Amino acid sequence: MHDDRTLVEARLRRVLDERIRPAVYPESVPLDAAVWHAPGEPVPVAEGLAADVEPVTVGTRWGAPWGTSWFRVTGTVPEAWAGRTVEALLDLGFDENMPGFQCEGLVYRPDGTPVKGLNPRNQWVRIGAPVQGGEEVRLHIEAASNPVIMGHRPFAPTPLGDRETAGGAPQYTLARMDLAVLDETVWHLVTDLEVLGELMAELPVDSPRRWDILRAVERALDAVDLQDVNGTARQARSQLTDVLAAPAVPSAHHIGAVGHAHIDSAWLWPLRETVRKVARTAASMTALLDDEPDFVFAMSQAQQWAWVKDHRPEVWARVKKAVADGRFVPAGGMWVESDTNMPGSEAMARQFVHGKRFFLDEFGVENDEAWLPDTFGFAAGLPQIIKAAGSSYLLTQKISWSRTNSFPHHTFRWEGIDGSRVFTHFPPVDTYNCSMHGAEIAHAVRNFKDKGAARHSLAPTGWGDGGGGTTREMVAKAARLRDLEGSATVTWQTPSAFFAKAEAENPEPPVWVGELYLELHRATLTSQAGTKQGNRRSEHLLREAELWAATAAVRTGFPYPYEHLDRIWKTVLLHQFHDILPGSSIAWVHREARATYARIADELNGIVDAAQRALAGEGTLPLVFNAAPHPRAGVPAGGARPAEATGRTTREDRPGGGHVLDNGLLRVAVDGRGLVDSVHDLEADRETVAPGRPGNLLQLHHDLPNMWDAWDVDAFYRNTVTDLTDADEVTAGTDGASVRVRRSFGDSRVTQVLSLPPGEKRLVVDTEVDWHETEKFLKLAFPLDLHADRYASETQFGHFHRPTHTNTSWEAARFEACNHRFVHLQEPDWGVAVVNDGTYGHDVTRTVRRDGGTTTTVRVSLLRAPRFPDPETDQGLHRFRHALVPGASVGDAVREGWRINLPERRLTGAGEVAPLVTVDRDSVVVTAVKLADDGSGDVVVRFHEAHGARARVTLTAGFAVARAEATDLLERPLADTPAPAVEEGRITVRLRPFQLTTLRLKRA
């Protein structure tokens, strides 16, 4: 037989595009349209429905950036259409290739009942099936004219990312407002041909199945009268019956499809617009559930559910019913799909506390899975947190974006720093916006790395980010793929059902130990420094507010601010979303975030001040309140008393310029350029700074990644560097224990204060940068005379080691990494820590000098200047605090990291304040002291082993304890853990390395 395959395939494409798809709606009549453009921000639904409208016609430009327009469409169903299926086709000016990234709408009936969302791939509204002739049609559309931020030139700087700079030019052209007859037979023919054509294209050319499909498609095309598609569609479908009925082979891969609409809680739109994106999507998905009995939809992020509840009660009622039916599924059990690298220990725990509690309170649903398809890598401490929250599974897709190494598994157990393991799945479909296209299904099968051991994978199916979620076309395709020869089989599944099947099928999968590092988007550890500092400060202020409020509540009857703290925690957690905290959102988002953090700081400082004043009482005794988990200057952790004197620091001028600071523990030499050429550990008689390489060196790189400007820093940025060694001024500080350095470069200015506190073994570097560069990367370097093949970075509830070398491609790819409060490097008997109060990105490199010694350089990432999506990223004034801690053990690094983030507070009062709880091991860190969330008055204490060793610790309560319980993060007793014994307020616990423990103490 002659090979006519390409001829038939080309024929299929043209006939589908030019004849069959246009015949889906064979008849249409225009609707009358009118519009009201709301001034300013969105208005309540009732106001939009009642607004005075003016006529508008198709072809009219509409929609200033970030505006809202209320369209009213009216018409009458022609009598001749009686008994047929009729839909309204409402095209606001969509580009079908950009679902989720342009204008959107939500359709209402005149009584305010929401119908469904309008999106580029979902422009129809069902009027009736069958419809009555003469029926009046009246619909209202709340249309959001969100501008296209990332267009066909994807990373071009644009002023559209903030309403303050976006202007008022109309963005869209009204394209279609019609009533139309839907020919369901033709619609099904389109789906039949798409499924078979897409499957055929993925099968081997020499496969008999491919040729069976080709001939069936050819017969179907022969049966279509191109001048009467609607009259011959049924006959054409009949030619496809046999090939669509052929069952899949027994060994076929199985895909569990779950309806999905990944909605970034803020990204290329502000938070307020996400509230509406979620409402549109939820309205569409509940409507689709009504139409499609097999369909299941899952939505994550408790914050987004709360937005629907608070802002769209009519949609919420539909959602609640669908949840009760088991088909609209709460997923993930987190407040938002947060970044997991940068949130601190308690914040990461509270993501699960608040997320899981919302779903439990609203629906009685306990989530088993963490659902993080788009998060930019996963910290090594996360498995323990997932387990401590009562969950067992993790889903993500993002690791497939790694540019250097292909991750070796799709289903595996992920082991964290404490040994906790969670069953983890990476969908091999490699997208969280699966559309059921044949190429996606075939890719999942080919890509699946666990063949032979497993054959189940998950496919999150639907358009995200306001693209509308799952479409009826996707559901129809899935129905045809349920059991189809040549394809993976597809069934709709909830996440919990999928994980149960996958784990039962593969109970002993491979194990991956340590962080899940994304080899991409590394610059998110640095972009938008103000947002990151706001997060860090908020986390520590929340610790202080809970600690002092709980102490004051127990000691003085101070009213514990439950609701206040709950609201603030949820606000902080929201801003840890994986495009806000990473700095990859538009200017509007970060402008609002900075204002929000400032407001939060004021509120929390108010709580702290009120609680401390209640504890201190009236008096003149100078008190120092220490919120850190370690004593300092004689002040106990979590207590207050007068501080002890700690010695003094001297300063001397150096011959030839510069200064020497000495506090009896360290001698620090600062040269005439303001660079540190010596930090001598006097006790160890050991030099910290590598010979010939000064510390406190600011370095400036060009930084224009190939794409994803705010997200990425590419390795070639290191090819060029400017050392900022010229100083405008180097002067002695007025306190006698510091040196002030001023520099200028480009359009920017830097002022640094190098100080050596009395009695403390740390050099503090305060850096103020008035930053006005673009596409530059600023680093602060500390070259250390230290030989180490690995170093420790703090992560949630512990620390994680990374190599300092690049033996493998996996190691070389980690050229920018995350730390929390410290990085620590160590030879067997001596180490160095670099601690910070609000930076996360860093790099560590090593070289061997001519003298044979090793220079290991720690560089802290301070600032970037990408121009997309915020063209003014980080412009302006920034303040950073770092400290170099020579002779530090990892325990010293832990302590100094807390110290720099929790400065002491000073009040006068009547007497000392004893801690509410104490622990007798320096290696055990208390991360939270609070009252139980249920309002019972119980005291909740969370702590962990922080040095990476076993510990036997005794916790002593400074109040009468009736009973203690070990609990999960949600403060529920652990069923398999006996209640610890309490003896005169003391509780002894044995901890594994990095083990996290939560105790609930019932007050006597």
Q: What angle do CA 414, 417, 423 make, to 5 degrees?
A: 20
Rounded distance between C-alpha atoms, residue 391 and residue 510, angstroms: 20
Rounded distance between C-alpha atoms, residue 781 and residue 804, angstroms: 15
Positive/negative CA dihedral, 222, 226, 228, 233: positive
Please enumerate in sequence order all residues whose Cβ is within 8 A of that of 517, keeping only pairs 6 or more positions apart, or say none. 377, 402, 813, 814, 817
CB 25, CB 50: distance < 8 Å: no
> Is 374 tagged catalytic?
yes
**Maximum Cα–Cα distance across the chain:** 103
Task: Compute and round to an integer the Cα radius of gyration of the chain.
Answer: 31
Which residue, chain included where needed, has tokens 């594994």?
992
Give me the torsion for CA of 94, 96, 100, 105, rounded to 10°.
40
Rounded distance between C-alpha atoms, residue 543 and residue 545, angstroms: 6
Residue 154: CB atoms within 10 A of its CB come to 11
Q: Phi and psi of 476, rounded to 5°?
A: -65, -40
User: Which one from 374, 430, 770, 933 is the annotated catalytic residue?
Assistant: 374
Positive/negative CA dihedral, 705, 711, 714, 718: positive
Collapse the DSSP code of 973 into the 3-class scheme (helix H, G, I; strand E, B; otherwise coil) and give the result: strand
- Give me the helices (H) in 380-457, please: 382-388, 438-447
Residue 932: CB atoms within 10 A of its CB come to 18
Q: Phi and psi of 370, rounded to 5°?
A: -90, 130
Q: How far from 145 is each of 110, 155, 329, 551, CA to CA, in Å? A: 22, 20, 30, 50
Rounded distance between C-alpha atoms, residue 424 and residue 412, angstroms: 5
Positive/negative CA dihedral, 480, 481, 482, 484: positive
Q: What angle do CA 308, 334, 161 make, to 5 degrees?
A: 60
What angle do helix axes 313-324 and 345-363 make, rounded to 10 degrees?
80
Give me the torsion for CA of 521, 522, 527, 529, rounded to 10°.
140
Rounded distance between C-alpha atoms, residue 103 and residue 96, angstroms: 11
Give me the active site residues, please: 374
